[in-house]
Amino acid sequence: MVFDFAVLASLLHSLTSALPSPLTFLGAVVYLLLSLLLIFAGRRVIKFLVFLIAGLAVGAAGALLGTFLPLSVIAIPVGFVLGFIVGGLLGLLLLRFGIGVAVGLFAYYASLSLTHSEPISIIVGLVLFAIGLVLARSILGVATAIIGGVLFYDISVIYFHAPPLIAGLASIILAAVGAWVQWPKRHVSHSSKVGVYSGSNYSASKSCPKCGASALPGAEYCANCGAHL
């Protein structure tokens, strides 16, 4: 099977082919807000929906199981709550795995179309599968930003009759900004920031070895006795 890169374009286009026609003004505004939500918070929205749907499904099974246990009045809500939490966490785990599978398959078929080598394509697919697992959050954020940008372009051109060039540039800029906003960022703690300046020239406290007087950070000589620090 040879991978066709046109499939990706047709897939993105099919996302907007489901738009109701004709759209009402309210419907167009809703789709426009949906596109912006996907662009700037799509990763959180998808994770929330996956947690909610998986949690409700497993929670319903837990509640059903509780009907067969003694004290079903207590067992049913407890089963639902436990099932909801376990199902939601399991759904998030499967979401990460699914992203890895999707990236691996895409890499496999892309490599196969370029190299025509099954062993090389399998290796590339497995490597990208592992990378997809590690970078699942980043990939999901970028993917939802791109999908939101495509939806923003289509709704801008189809309903609001914006010039295609302007709508395209706006969609690209919004998608790029949204991908940057959704990209997971490392938070540096205040203690680690202070640690950068904890070298010999920036020590918080220093005392004179001769007279014991305190010295200012960075001072080379004691202000009290003149001894070298």
In a domain, 5, yes or no: no
Tell me the average pLDDT of the chain.
84
Q: What gap in Å lies between CA 118 and CA 107, rounded to an integer?
A: 12
Provide the residue count of the chain.
Answer: 229
pLDDT higher for 218 or 46?
Answer: 46
Q: Do 165 and 65 share a domain, yes or no? A: yes
Q: Do 122 and 178 share a domain, yes or no? A: yes
Q: Do 52 and 100 share a domain, yes or no? A: yes
Mean pLDDT of the region 157-177: 94
Q: Do 164 and 67 share a domain, yes or no? A: yes
Tell me how far CA of residue 31 lies from CA of 15, 21, 34, 160, 168, in angstroms: 12, 13, 5, 12, 17
**Residue 15: what pLDDT?**
55
Spatial contact of 183 and 138, defined as CB atoms under 8 Å apart: yes
In a domain, 81, yes or no: yes
In a domain, 196, yes or no: no
Q: Do 120 and 227 share a domain, yes or no? A: no
Q: Give the domain range for residue 137.
A: 20-182
In a domain, 116, yes or no: yes
What global pTM score does this model have? 0.70
pLDDT tens-place string over residues 99-148:
999 999 999 999 999 999 999 999 999 999 999 999 999 999 999 999 99
Q: Do 118 and 220 share a domain, yes or no? A: no
Q: Do 58 and 141 share a domain, yes or no? A: yes
Q: Do 216 and 173 share a domain, yes or no? A: no
In a domain, 33, yes or no: yes
In a domain, 6, yes or no: no
In a domain, 56, yes or no: yes
In a domain, 191, yes or no: no
